[in-house]
Amino acid sequence: MIKTSIFIVFILFGFFAAAQIPNTEVAVDTKIFPKETVQLSINSNLLLAGELLQYKAYILNATNRETSLSKVLYISMRNENDSVVFTHKLRVKNKTAQGDFFIPSSLKTGVYRLIGYTNFSRNNTQDAIVEKSINVINSFVKTKKIAGKQVDTVFVKMVTEPGSKERLSSPLGKVLITTDKSSYNHREKVTISIENLVGNNPENYVLSVRKINPLEISDKPENNQKNIVSETFYVPEVRGEIISGVVFSKTDNKPVANKEVSLTIPGKDYVFKIAKTNSNGRFFFSVSEGYNAEKSVIQLNETKTNAANFNLVLDKKDFDLGKSDASFLKFDPAIKEWLQERSVQMQIENAYYDAKRDSIIKNETNAQFYSNLGTLFLLDDYTRFPSVRETFTEVVTLAAIRGTGSESRFVVNNEYDPNGTANFNDIPPLVVMDGVQILNNEDLINYNSREIESIRIINKPYRFGPKLFSGIIAVETKNGDYFPINNKENVEEFSLPPAVKDKKYFRLNYGQNSANVRIPDYRVQLLWQPDFDVSKGSGSTTFYTSDVGGVFEILLEGYSEEGIHILSKNYITVTDN
């Protein structure tokens, strides 16, 4: 406990300055840091193109207890050549995270690797990532074995009594899963009860109900993962996503200290941050806010002339796993009829996607860093002037533009110091437009004033990040899409995909007067509840069966407060009566 507290104090006081740094720059023994691993629950390891892969991830410590250290988690799916199918960035809530991925028709039949990790777990010499095999069958594209290529053959066979083996070999243990009966008709309500759960751990269990496929897959040989010996230390993202990099001098290619760098994640509720490089030329931004933009802007806070003397290099979080042994799925001809039937059902189900759409939970709106300070000038409330300079002269009386051309500068007028003799009045204000810091004042002065919606003036000294400003001039355009196209020397646009948004999964209800009775229902995944509430050691829920008959598996999985892995199953049958 003491070691963990010391570690977090180091982070909070900026002891580390980047998401990844050379071990030679770490001043303490990294062995004192707590270990962190990731585990995964998935809805199925066999999916058809057109189905949904659903997953839940748990962040655990060395004793399998859930830990709240990292706040960001990554899930990636890759093929045998290590090509990325998708990478999801997830914000951790209640020490877990969940998401899903629609298997597209463009994905070839084969065996894929689903991996999960945090930035900090990559420091482990073992268990740096968790990996699960996902078998994908694409019934729309015929896949042939490449002649002469060495591959592992994975056999997919038909079984006559699907689920019989699982039901015999899966004891329930201490956790009891019960249903109101064992056999149901189509579109009938099912009630599940969970009892005798070991320990309380609210909402950190996943409850899944899915039809057992009538297929048996031969196990693919596991890849022998080598122990990782890394020369890099990966810092945990304890407050939010870390964006980091290094500023180098072009003269000698050495890192440069004390250089200011600003980050803007655009949008109507943009994210803006400023950082300064440390003695090793490293900077970092910790982003705890949610955002929607796919691309962001990072700037070296120098003039265009000076910026040409430096290179700004961002750290990358993606990494190579290396190629895995190639696999070829060989199918038993007996599965043809089942595959055709399931493909038709799936296409009908997808055709009614809009009627069964999940609800996306939007990010909370980010309050601007200056909140409601200062005075806001809504320009449509005033006479519009043709230039920004005239607008500042006639409308925005709390600020002004001095000088011309490249010597132009912005100043704020403090009503308590009309002669400008107070401290800090000789330093410039912070000028931002749509969250992008204005480094070349002419960019704003020459902007079309009719495209500006508002100007907020804070005419008092303001400290932001590592720097003090005489005030703030915050400009917002009507479209909220300003980008400094004339400052390529010190501005870089880079890809920064947002975190996966939380979902509220659609639940069909065939109650009285239901509008769903006329809609075809070929679901094989009857329930996926990634935050099943067992706050009192027990819980219950209900769902409805579909038009698909067969044996369905009820699975509860998660980790108790004591670090015990809970995996319990039960089964129901849906008949055609």
Q: What confidence tier does 37 reach under pLDDT thresholds 50, 70, 90?
A: very high
Can you give the pLDDT at residue 13? 30
Please classify residue 435 by burial: count the beta carbons closer than 10 Å to its beta carbon, then call 0-12 exposed, 13-18 middle and 19+ buried.
buried
Compute the half-sphere exposure of residue 468: CA atoms within 13 Å on the CB side of its CA. 8
Tell how many helices (H) and how many strands (E) occur in the chain: 6, 39
CATH number, domain of 130, equals 2.60.40.1930
Q: Which residue has tokens 């990478």? A: 87
Can you give the pLDDT at residue 367? 86
- Same domain? For 510 and 411 the reply is no
Residue 178 forms part of a structural domain = yes
Contacts with 143 (C-beta within 8 Å, 6 or more apart), sequence order: 108, 109, 110, 328, 329
Q: What confidence tier does 12 reach under pLDDT thresholds 50, 70, 90?
A: very low
Q: What is the mean pLDDT of residues 539-556?
A: 93
pLDDT at 207 over 90: yes
Q: What is the mean pLDDT of residues 128-147?
A: 81
- Same domain? For 55 and 175 the reply is yes
- Same domain? For 359 and 386 the reply is no
Q: How many domains is the chain built from?
A: 2
Residue 307 forms part of a structural domain = no
- Which of 89-103, 298-312, 433-447 bottoms out in mean pLDDT, i.e. has the lowest? 298-312
- Same domain? For 394 and 512 the reply is no
Q: What confidence tier does 386 reach under pLDDT thresholds 50, 70, 90?
A: very high
Q: What confidence tier does 542 reach under pLDDT thresholds 50, 70, 90?
A: very high
Q: What is the mean pLDDT of residues 277-305?
A: 90
Contacts with 362 (C-beta within 8 Å, 6 or more apart), sequence order: 501
Residue 283 forms part of a structural domain = no
- Same domain? For 334 and 473 the reply is no
Contacts with 549 (C-beta within 8 Å, 6 or more apart), sequence order: 186, 574, 575, 576
Q: What confidence tier does 30 reach under pLDDT thresholds 50, 70, 90?
A: low
- Same domain? For 421 and 570 the reply is no
Residue 492 forms part of a structural domain = no
Q: What is the mean pLDDT of residues 66-73?
A: 90
Q: What is the extent of the structural domain holding 203?
A: 34-223+324-363+503-574
Whether 399 and 445 have beta carbons less than 8 Å apart is answered as no
Q: Which residue has tokens 């991830």? A: 57
Helix (H, G, I), strand (E, B) or coil at 403: coil
Position 405: which residue type? G
- Which of 22-26, 62-66, 457-461 bottoms out in mean pLDDT, i.e. has the lowest? 22-26
pLDDT top residue among 156 and 425:
156
Give the number of residues written for the chain: 577
Can you give the pLDDT at residue 285? 94
pLDDT at 522 over 80: yes
pLDDT tens for 403-458 read 988 889 999 987 766 666 566 677 899 999 999 999 989 999 999 999 999 999 99
Q: Report CA-CA distances (Å) from 376 to 370, 398, 456.
A: 12, 10, 4
- Same domain? For 41 and 189 the reply is yes
pLDDT top residue among 285 and 486:
285
- Same domain? For 337 and 440 the reply is no
Whether 59 and 95 have beta carbons less than 8 Å apart is answered as yes
Residue 268 forms part of a structural domain = no
Whether 360 and 503 have beta carbons less than 8 Å apart is answered as yes
Alpha-carbon gap, residue 273 to 26, rounded angstroms:
25
pLDDT at 155 over 70: yes
pLDDT at 53 over 70: yes
Residue 261 forms part of a structural domain = no
Q: What confidence tier does 10 reach under pLDDT thresholds 50, 70, 90?
A: very low
- Which of 4-13, 78-87, 214-223, 256-265 bottoms out in mean pLDDT, i.e. has the lowest? 4-13
- Which of 3-17, 343-357, 468-482 bottoms out in mean pLDDT, i.e. has the lowest? 3-17
- Same domain? For 508 and 475 the reply is no
Q: What confidence tier does 173 reach under pLDDT thresholds 50, 70, 90?
A: very low
pLDDT at 195 over 50: yes
- Same domain? For 426 and 530 the reply is no
Q: What confidence tier does 126 reach under pLDDT thresholds 50, 70, 90?
A: confident
What does the radius of gyration of the chain's CA atoms come to, in whole angstroms?
29
What percentage of the chain reaches a pLDDT higher than 70?
83
pLDDT tens for 219-252 read 655 544 444 556 778 888 999 999 999 999 999 9
Residue 284 forms part of a structural domain = no
CATH number, domain of 400, equals 2.170.130.10
Alpha-carbon gap, residue 499 to 363, rounded angstroms:
10
Q: What confidence tier does 169 reach under pLDDT thresholds 50, 70, 90?
A: very low
What percentage of the chain reaches a pLDDT higher than 90?
48
Q: What's the predicted TM-score (pTM) here?
A: 0.87
End-of-domain residue from the set 450, 483, 516: 483
Can you give the pLDDT at residue 242? 93
- Same domain? For 95 and 126 the reply is yes
pLDDT at 363 over 90: no
Residue 239 forms part of a structural domain = no
- Same domain? For 427 and 558 the reply is no
pLDDT at 96 over 60: yes
pLDDT top residue among 458 and 25:
458
- Which of 139-143, 299-303, 522-526 bottoms out in mean pLDDT, i.e. has the lowest? 139-143
Q: What is the mean pLDDT of residues 127-138?
A: 92
Can you give the pLDDT at residue 159? 79
End-of-domain residue from the set 483, 513, 536: 483
Pairing between β-strand 260-265 and β-strand 46-48 as defined by DSSP bridges: unpaired
* In 417-524, beta strands by DSSP E: 430-433, 436-437, 452-458, 462-464, 467-469, 472-477, 491-495, 503-504
